[in-house]
């Protein structure tokens, strides 16, 4: 039996405005198994970020069901969803979202503090994650003192230090040059292969698509049934 981390079943998402109703997602079903290295692909406006936000419980669908590790997200209160995100989900954003006044180590520790981990455990897990990503010499540097690629690696360390069921990455290479992007993808691929970290990317970057072992193609808010395609 498949070990499912994420399930979105017949998900529809509508947005209301003064101009009327806009349908961002239309009857989308997606399942992600533990250990996958997969990508949501499609042009801008196809619904990738909307779907990623719903899978990450940041938003809820107008219709349909969403489950994380078998837990029904729709039935939860916002406080319960927030706790589930803390326990189960890691996030990597295009803009890094690091706290500029904190060091790399403190940024990674912050999510562990929210998880109420003990001080010694926080320091050990944060240090281990940063060292694993080649950032051992940047532990005490703050984001303004780092390159964009270094900041993005700190964001990856922050996401994996919390031991999430899955890491959701929204256009993580969009602001990086080719060499830095390839290096970041190498690191995340190793995390997947050596540690079993599950990754789901939202991207229109050919470099990410080439690395994904499964792609789900979104076109105008619907899954192209020619995908997902095994690579």
CA–CA separation, 181 and 152 (whole Å): 10
Q: Please provide residue 18's backbone torsions phi and psi, each rounded to the nearest 5 degrees.
A: -65, -25
The SS3 call for residue 210 is: helix
Instruction: Show the domain range for 11.
Output: 4-230
Please tell me the predicted confidence (pLDDT) of residue 228: 40
CB atoms within 10 A of CB 73: 22
Supply 36's token pair: 């996958």
**CATH code for the domain in which residue 207 is found:** 3.40.50.300
CA–CA separation, 111 and 191 (whole Å): 19
The counts of H helices and E strands in the chain are 7, 11
What domain count does the chain have?
1
Low-confidence stretches of the chain (pLDDT < 50) are 227-231
Please tell me the predicted confidence (pLDDT) of residue 105: 95
CB atoms within 10 A of CB 224: 16
Share of the chain above pLDDT 70, in %: 96
CA–CA separation, 200 and 39 (whole Å): 5
Please tell me the predicted confidence (pLDDT) of residue 225: 61
Please tell me the predicted confidence (pLDDT) of residue 1: 60
Q: What are the C-alpha distances in Å from 48 to residues 36, 44, 81?
A: 18, 8, 21
CA dihedral for 162, 163, 166, 167, sign (positive or negative): positive
Cα 112–Cα 89–Cα 223 angle in degrees, nearest 5: 165
Note the pTM of the prediction, 2 decimals. Answer: 0.85
First to last CA, the chain: 22
- Sheet containing 71-72: order of strands: 20-33, 4-17, 63-68, 71-72
């Amino acid at each position: 039996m498949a070990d499912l981390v994420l399930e979105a079943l017949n998900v529809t998402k509508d947005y209301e405005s003064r101009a009327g109703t806009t349908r961002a997602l239309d009857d989308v079903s997606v399942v992600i198994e533990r250990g996958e290295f997969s990508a949501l692909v499609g042009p801008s406006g196809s619904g990738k970020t909307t779907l990623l936000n719903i899978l990450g419980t940041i938003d809820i669908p107008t219709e349909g069901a969403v489950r994380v590790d078998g837990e029904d997200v729709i039935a939860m209160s916002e406080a319960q969803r927030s706790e589930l995100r803390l326990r189960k989900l890691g996030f990597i954003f295009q803009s890094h979202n690091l706290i500029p006044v904190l060091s790399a180590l403190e940024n990674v520790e912050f999510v562990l503090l929210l998880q109420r981990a003990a001080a010694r455990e926080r320091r050990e897990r944060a240090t281990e994650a940063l060292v694993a990503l080649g950032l051992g010499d940047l532990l005490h540097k703050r984001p303004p003192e780092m390159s964009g690629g270094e900041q993005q690696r700190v964001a990856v360390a922050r996401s994996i230090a919390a031991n999430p069921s899955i890491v959701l990455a929204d256009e993580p290479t969009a602001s990086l040059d080719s060499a830095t992007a390839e290096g970041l993808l190498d690191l995340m691929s190793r995390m997947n292969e050596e540690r079993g970290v599950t990754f789901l990317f939202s991207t229109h970057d050919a470099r990410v698509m080439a690395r994904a072992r499964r792609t789900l193609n979104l076109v105008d808010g619907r899954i192209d049934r020619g995908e997902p395609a095994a690579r």
